[in-house]
Amino acid sequence: MKKINRLSDMFSEFPGIGPRQSKRFVYFLLARNPEFLDEMASMIANLKKEIRQCEDCSRFFQKNFSNSPICEICGDKNRDRTKLMLVSRDIDLETVEKSGSYSGMYFVLGGSVPILEKNPENQIRLKRLFSYLDEKAGNRGEADKLKEIILGMNANPTGEHTADFLKNALSEFSAKYGIKISALGRGLSTGTELEYSDAETIKNALKNRA
């Protein structure tokens, strides 16, 4: 049973997965054929070799032939560089992107700031965000100048706390460069996570940002 327990412990480290579910994962795998397991094992083994982190927005993306350090969103010349949306996780970026209602740039914070957190700067990529902002706000032509930062957080207490923390952390920067800071309007009903919002809701939340 040792192997089963070890694997189930590993699954229980996944976000949102408890000990019971993690054990079910192990038994699920035991019931599948060897090809499925081999494919999965090799996908996991190669994940970090095939995926890299964008040097601009910090999202994970599949390496391409040019081996560019920048993802296809950051490299797309047709996107609106005057707007930057901050999101907590890659999955939030994907949801907004899929809604088709936003054509600006993104930055993935890699987490959120829980209420009562003593070291908020350790929970998100704050340092990296600041160097991104300094670089982008300082070195651009007038048409591409960053004008607005949109806080794309979840409509729950942690999301709201993260937005408040960011507003505060960015206040000096926003004053220095004359950048407006806005947050998604809550067409999202309270408690909703961005990840589970449909395209129409995201469109409205963008339209009603303040």
Q: Does 87 bind Zn ion (CB under 5 A)?
A: no
Segment interacting with Zn ion (CB under 5 A) among 3-11, 72-80, 132-140, 192-200: 72-80
> Which of the ranges 11-19, 67-75, 132-140, 146-154 carries the binding residues for Zn ion, by CB under 5 A?
67-75
- Minimum separation from the CB atom of position 70 to Zn ion (A): 6
**Residues between 36 and 55 with contacts to Zn ion, criterion CB under 5 A:** 54
Residue 57 sits in the site that holds Zn ion (CB under 5 A)? yes
Interface with Zn ion (CB under 5 A), residue total 5
Among 95, 73, 104, 98, CA closest to 154: 95
Element of type H or E holding 61 = strand 60-62
Count the Cβ atoms, other than its own, within 10 Å of residue 145.
16
User: How far is the C-alpha of 171 from the C-alpha of 26, rounded, in Å?
Assistant: 48
Stretch that binds Zn ion, among 74-82, 120-128, 146-154, 186-194 (CB under 5 A): 74-82
Among 74, 85, 93, 179, binds Zn ion (CB under 5 A): 74
Q: Are 148 and 83 in contact (CB under 8 A)?
A: yes
| Euclidean distance between CA atoms 194 and 199, whole angstroms | 10
| One of 22, 26, 56, 159 touching Zn ion (CB under 5 A) | 56
Among the listed residues 22, 26, 71, 209, the single contact to Zn ion using CB under 5 A: 71
Cβ-based neighbours of 33, under 8 Å, separated by 6 or more: none
Nearer to Zn ion, 4 or 51 (CB): 51
Two tokens at 1? 């049973």
